[in-house]
Structure 1
Amino acid sequence: MTLLRDLRYPAPHELALAARAMADEHPARVRLRQVGVSRGGRPLWVLSVGGRGDRGREVLVVAGAHANEPVGGATALELARRVSRARDAGTGWHFLLCADPDGAELHRTPRPGSLLDYHRHFYRPPGPEQPEWAPSILPPDRLPPESLVLTGLIDELRPVLQVSLHGTDLGGSWVQLTRDLPGLAEPFGKSAAELRIPVERGASDAAGWASPGPGIFVMPDSGAGAGHSEDTRLSTWCHRATTTAIVEVPMWASDLVDDPAPHPDPRGALRMLAGRLTGEAARVAELREHLGDAEPDPDAAALLRAVDWTLRLIPQVTAGWTGPGAPAEATTATVGSIDAFGRRLSLRAAAMLLRVVRAQGHPAAPGLDRLVTGWCEEFSARFRARWVPVATQVEHQSRTALAAYRCLQTGQA
């Protein structure tokens, strides 16, 4: 794939062009269709390989649900190529190439050379504007069109498996499951080891979830996660009680999230991390207050909504770290994952605010630029970050998605 050889992430229009070429080359087996439009009028495309056979097994793969996690589109194309060669007539694979093209337009980092490059054009929409998360936050009559398209696809296909392709800026790889897929830990761990990708053993997104193997986490009945006030059981991951695998892969790897050694003082560490995050958030919030609310530019308005959402989330996060439910025992990997999660929250808010003040020529821009630069450098240095090539990210996600389907087949046999 040319885009992977160029070591960059494809934009939504490039994904659509590549998918169209694949459909034109294999018209009897591969098809591309538009299934809706985004709030901004951008097309939402689904690439399908096979399907609607006598056995009626369908798999839905969702890419680009989070604008700042661009690897999924490239993985979707690679998976489409692999399953088209397999020619399993009884299984249809359907790829939503980019669930949030509006967000992808605002997050422009096709070839980040560093964490600072990545954050220079960072954008992650607030929860109510994220296609997968919106149903867990908003009433049905206020859902964005992207969420309605996604739930409509699930209603239409009734997939035996949904695979949601995600990524993290810095850390390791892990998989969240709506129900256990016995046997997945072995091929997942083998792939990560072969590709030198650390396994995130204590992912903060899945704090308190059952873990049948390193890096594999099964959603509890409540659906609660430490980093979210919403119930994940109301997200599109669980629509129609679908079996869903959320596959995370890092852009930059850190072995600190793969260390199973017991941490000597997790509660003390979490108090320290909460204090740091509270202080960092206060610095960003002070700058945000000076900008006010009037903002005619749509891009700037979207960025500010995301900043405000992130700043409101932070007190909920720190309360969980310092409250009675804070763990008395934890591994070094778990504390490392929480450390990384906190750093990225304040950094993301600052980075998105910087985009606004820089565009406005605001006098706060130079100081905020220095702050973002320093936080990126500290984040990278603390975790000894090393870049994971795009092709390697895609390979690991592809292997894991296919392994999840094989485990599902085995369990249903």
Structure 2
Amino acid sequence: MGALPGPEEIELAPWAARHTFPSPGDVDREFARIADAHPRCRLERLGVSRGGRPVTTLTVPGGPRHVVVVGGPHPNEPAGHLTVLVLARLLTRTSAWTGDIGCTWHLVSCIDPDGAALNPWTGMPLDLGAYHRHFYRPPLAAQPEWTFPAPGFSRPLPETTILHELLTAVRPEVYVDLHNADFGGAFFVVNRPHPTLSGALRDAAARHRIPLGREGIDTLGWAKDGPGVHVMPPVGELVVTRPGADGPSHGASSLHHLPPGAIGVMPEVPLWPARALTAPSSGPCATGHPELMRQTAALLHERCRLLQEFLDRVLPHLPGDAEVFTDAAADTLRSAASCAALWHTMAAGPVTRDQYAAAADGAACFPLRAAGMLLRATASLPASSRPGVERTVPAEVFEDWIKDLQATAPAPYPLHAVVGLQTAAALTAAAVGP
């Protein structure tokens, strides 16, 4: 494998100066300029989203081995938008990662441009208050990443179908789905163990000075291919059926639908380092991490209860166009309640510090996400249509909770570290191959 690019080779202008991220439209416009400047590249509209926005790919030829990189799998995870631009600039400047290793690259700007348009915080300097106040993440059944066909689930979204058709047509040997997390260390999700890839990914994290995260909120209990590398479970172990629902609430992931023998990687790179957390007490009456896990589960349960009661009261008074936020907030609260139940069960046995840290991040962030979306849902509600106190409930708790979070949160990672690690993960996976 060739030498990975250093920080000086990662072109982040103009976003690094403002610590912001490009929109899918920004990515598409830059892709168009690159394609015009490099006629061997091909810019293609793969299809359109439910809201009529384009889903595009830039193909950089280089050989018979195909690599697909998705820049925006979730709309609240914009780091990949910048990473696919960095990759496009790098791949068209040198043959080290195309012709020299025989790879043709297919860079997808964003798979959920409608959701990305509802996250205006990505164009602001990175700040916890703005991030949560302007936050949007759709319900599981409305996420292209989680609506691939699965047993009992056959409702893929148009954007899911677009990505699925690209994977079917290209049949990549390597697939990289660029995710970012909120806090902590970097971790990776792979579709199967790999004899050399997992170690190379850990080396890339060390090189960019982002510590490995041993646990993620979504990966507690998953098998590992060494520290910081989690193996995606079979879809049957992941699909959730809500009580009273007609079938599963979501489908499979893109990692479940790769060609036989392909390697798939999801780099989960955090925007902020790990927070300062309460440590177990010492001495003869020490509570340890299990007790802290129980406290964390109880905290999350109580915050979810407060927001759910607010949502139930205000929902009949909201206009129909608010449902994009209320549906997403309700799904966030359901997911958070499931996490709280899991953490309470885990607290009956040994709990590691990393598991507790992942839970503590979830207990802090899930309610803030839901509260932010509820504030957006009620922003245009006329005063005459609601009891006077109702709108103040999420506003008041949002301010209290965001102050608590900010009190334990460090400054964000520099963009060259976040994007550099995602870039290194993609290049490493392409060079190592299946």
TM bucket normalised to smaller: 0.7 to 0.9
Structure 1 residue 290 corresponds to structure 2 residue 290: no
Unmatched tracts of structure 2, length 5 or more: 1-12, 243-247, 280-285
Structure 1 residue 48 corresponds to structure 2 residue 59: yes
Q: Tell me, in whole angstroms, the C-alpha distance in 2 between the residues paired with 1:264 and 1:190.
A: 35
Contact in 2 for aligned 1:182/1:407 (Cα 8 Å): no
1:175-324 matches, cutoff 5 A: 175-221=188-234, 224=237, 234-241=252-259, 242-254=262-274, 265-293=288-316, 295-298=318-321, 300-323=322-345
Q: Tell me, in whole angstroms, the C-alpha distance in 2 between the residues paired with 1:16 and 1:328.
A: 49
Unmatched tracts of structure 1, length 5 or more: none
Aligned residue pairs, count: 398
3-state SS of paired residue (1:210) = coil
For 2:25, the equivalent position in structure 1 comes to 13
Deviation, structure 1 residue 149: 0.4
Q: Tell me, in whole angstroms, the C-alpha distance in 2 between the residues paired with 1:199 and 1:228.
A: 32
Match for residue 132 of structure 1 among 145, 152, 155: 145
Contact in 2 for aligned 1:224/1:232 (Cα 8 Å): no
Deviation, structure 1 residue 140: 6.1
Contact in 2 for aligned 1:57/1:159 (Cα 8 Å): yes
For 1:163, the equivalent position in structure 2 comes to 176
3-state SS of paired residue (1:132) = helix
3-state SS of paired residue (2:267) = strand
Contact in 1 for aligned 2:80/2:179 (Cα 8 Å): yes
Deviation, structure 1 residue 240: 3.6
Deviation, structure 1 residue 277: 0.7
Deviation, structure 1 residue 371: 1.3
Deviation, structure 1 residue 297: 4.8
TM score, norm. by length of structure 2: 0.84
Match for residue 93 of structure 1 among 102, 105, 110: 105
Contact in 2 for aligned 1:123/1:303 (Cα 8 Å): yes
Contact in 2 for aligned 1:238/1:244 (Cα 8 Å): no
Return the index of the structure with the highest Cα Rg.
2
Contact in 2 for aligned 1:221/1:233 (Cα 8 Å): no
One-letter code aligned to 1:46: T
For 1:105, the equivalent position in structure 2 comes to 117
For 2:9, the equivalent position in structure 1 comes to none
Contact in 1 for aligned 2:192/2:232 (Cα 8 Å): yes
Contact in 1 for aligned 2:239/2:252 (Cα 8 Å): no
Structure 1 residue 402 corresponds to structure 2 residue 410: no
Match for residue 370 of structure 2 among 349, 372, 384: 349
Q: CA separation of 1:223/1:253 partners in 2, compared to 1, >3 Å: closer, same or farther? A: farther
3-state SS of paired residue (2:45) = strand
One-letter code aligned to 2:33: A
1:382-401 matches, cutoff 5 A: 382=408, 384-401=409-426
What is the root-mean-square deviation of aligned Cα atoms in Å?
A: 2.7
One-letter code aligned to 1:286: E
Match for residue 398 of structure 2 among 362, 372, 393: 372
Q: Tell me, in whole angstroms, the C-alpha distance in 1 between the residues paired with 2:82 and 2:313.
A: 40
Contact in 1 for aligned 2:147/2:250 (Cα 8 Å): no
Q: CA separation of 1:177/1:278 partners in 2, compared to 1, >3 Å: closer, same or farther? A: same
